[in-house]
Amino acid sequence: MKRIIAAILLIIAIVSLTVVFFAFTQVTNEELRLRNDIQYRSTLLAESLRETVEPNFINKSEKYLQGVVEKYANKERFAGLAIVDNQNNIVAVSSTLPNEISEAQKIAGDVMDSDKANGDFVNFKDKKMYVFAVPLHDDKSVVGSLLIVQNAGYINTRLTDIWKTNLIRLFTQAFFLSVATLLILRWIIYEPIKSLVDSIKSAQLNTDNKKSVPNIPLFNPLIKELSNIQRNLTEARSVASEEARLRLEKVDSPWTAERLKEFIKDTLKGRTIIVVSNREPYIHTKEGNKISYYFPASGMVTAIEPIIQACGGIWIAHGSGDADKLVVDKDNKIKVPPNEPKYTLKRIWLDEIEEKGYYYGFSNEGLWPLCHLAHTRPTFRKEDWEEYKRVNGKFASAVLSEIKKYNKPIILLQDYHFALLPRMIKKGRPDAVIGLFWHIPWPNSESFSICPFRKDLLDGLLGADLLGFHTQLHCNNFIDTIGRELESLIDWEQFTVTKNDHTTRIKPFPISIAFYNGFHYQSHDQSSQINISNIRKQLNIKSEYIGLGVDRLDYTKGIIERFKAIEYFLEKYPSYKNRFTFIQIAPPSRSKIKRYKDFENEVVMEFERINQKFKSKGWEPIIFLKKRYNHEELNHFYRLANICLVTSLHDGMNLVAKEFIAARDDERGVLILSQFAGSSRELKDAFIVNPYNTEHMSEAIKSGLEMTPSEQIRKIRKMREIVKNYNIYRWSAELLKTMANLE
């Protein structure tokens, strides 16, 4: 759009310069013509009158002379006449002229002195006049002067009219040229290119109604190439689909988006998948008149988004962006991803009271600290619980509305925000297959028992057909909690809970990442190396060794414990001063909750204290970045680091550990991983540490920095195989297959 506006402005500028040039030329010529005309007429009249005036002037017939000048008063364009003697005294003057005509008298004096006719433009009472004077003679000398005074205001009027006419012509031409340019750009360029883009998009999206490449003579060379690209893309997709179908029978073949798509076709037989979460995958924001979007820093979104892209379907989530309402349709839906739509996002709107009670209150001041044993006391308020129930009901209504036309829909609910939702949906649609994945830890039964609303929460969860957790320990804790709190039939062999004739299966599904989608970079990629160098340059890092932490600003992530370990490491091993820099990426999270505000202040104070303690010329041990980065940008940080610290005090899985491993296709780098993160159950070749043990962590940092390249390769290679073989597509397949087999 900016280029179109620039093109129109350029056209207007060229037209304007052309019109102004010709208007200026026309005005100059017209002014010269009008001046010559008034001078010519004045000369003719002066010469004809001089023959009459001279004899009578010599005879001093003032009465006669006054009569002569009065005859020419109020004539068209004539202001009047005047006769001046050689003493520059007025002998006769038209009554239409002002009494004081000093400028005219001056001209008369000059004419008498030079004995030569002359004229000039003067102003009488703010009116433009042309004064022409001729000398009067007796037999021997100049005795006076005859003045012809004409109105010259019409000259300026005429010149102004020319400018007005040309400006009107300019604006008219500019308007019609702009409209014509827009129409030409739309009909000849925009519409054909849009048709070309739509045809390529249809091939990319693999839709049933593929659009053929339109025949547009103007773009024949481009159309030929695009037709080849579309054909090759279709053929490649067909081959990939066939390979994915064949891989379904091979247990050891890697899971990809195409394989998952074929698996879903084969297993679900066209049934619709509905995903429900609090966090939406794309958040639209407005800056000035520009609307943009970003992908939130959420482990849940990172894990689930590749599934819904592969499967299609509908994702229902809370619309939290300040421009979210501006981009949805009448049903509050939008196709996403914005650049290449593959599924539908339906947004649910929450008012301030609902968001405060349901999200900030009960979910994140109650359930979050309850499930994360990180020494923050849970807060349970009755009013928050009421909002939690109300919002769960609002989401239940949205889900039931969306699945009206679907038979046996599969509904995949996400996380602790919707503990009541399974039961609500099940009451409305008993045929729906409902799965809920709990992305955070499940505490032991004693810890959970402090929740005053625990029985209702557990009953709501048991409305699901499948409950998934990250680890077997969390499954054990959940069933133990059920046994303690509710009357039900528990099968410890099958890991099922039956209550009111409905059976819920409990199973671990350690979540992962899309290893082949966004985390696969070649180590020889020159642009990647350039980006890594740019990070060093922008952050002014000259250290030999670099450590990295990537977390939300959350008290469960062990950021302060990590900083203390770095402090202890530098104290114990001072040789690493100026040689080691730690980068902590930590975008703010849940800043409306006081505990999170306080925690952010604590982190900043600790960061500043340690830097103040160790800093020297051009070096500080910790770089703290409270900025949100997308996955591609994070990959450059992952590839830059020698060590990555994931030091959660309690975590369900923590996908940062897996992202770091997946990004390191150069088979370098060391992962230092908390024993309290779920990923430590899989990534056993990492340095497994207790984040509360500062000395232990500092020794892990030293060992990681000094690990030999061959040892790094051996460990990273093993962990990469684990992440590659159990990626998000395999996780999705196992989860969906389990749900499909529950009928």
pLDDT of residue 522: 42
Kindly give, in sequence order, each residue whose CB lies less than 8 Å from that of residue 250, ignoring residues fewer than 6 positions away.
none
Q: What is the CATH number of domain 27-151?
A: 3.30.450.20
For CATH 3.30.450.20, the residue range(s) in the chain are 27-151
Identity of residue 218: L
Give the pTM: 0.69
List the chain residues with pLDDT less than 50: 208, 517-524
pLDDT of residue 517: 44
Residue in the block written with tokens 């009459």: 52
For CATH 3.40.50.2000, the residue range(s) in the chain are 263-349+406-508, 526-725
pLDDT of residue 99: 59
The tokens describing 258, both together, are 């195409």
End-to-end CA distance of the chain: 53
pLDDT of residue 524: 43
What SS3 state is found at 408? coil
DSSP 211: P
Q: What is the CATH number of domain 263-349+406-508?
A: 3.40.50.2000
Task: Say yes or no: domain 526-725 is CATH 3.40.50.2000.
Answer: yes
Kindly give, in sequence order, each residue whose CB lies less than 8 Å from that of residue 481, ignoring residues fewer than 6 positions away.
442, 444, 445, 448, 449, 454, 458
Instruction: Give the tens place of pLDDT for each residue, 59-105.
Output: 767 777 787 777 766 666 777 888 888 888 888 888 777 655 677 77
pLDDT of residue 523: 43
Phi-psi region of 524 (alpha: psi -120 to 50; beta: other; left: phi over 0): alpha
Q: What angle do CA 474, 731, 455 make, to 5 degrees?
A: 35
Identity of residue 638: Y
pLDDT of residue 606: 97
Residue 481 CA to residue 486 CA, distance in Å, equals: 8
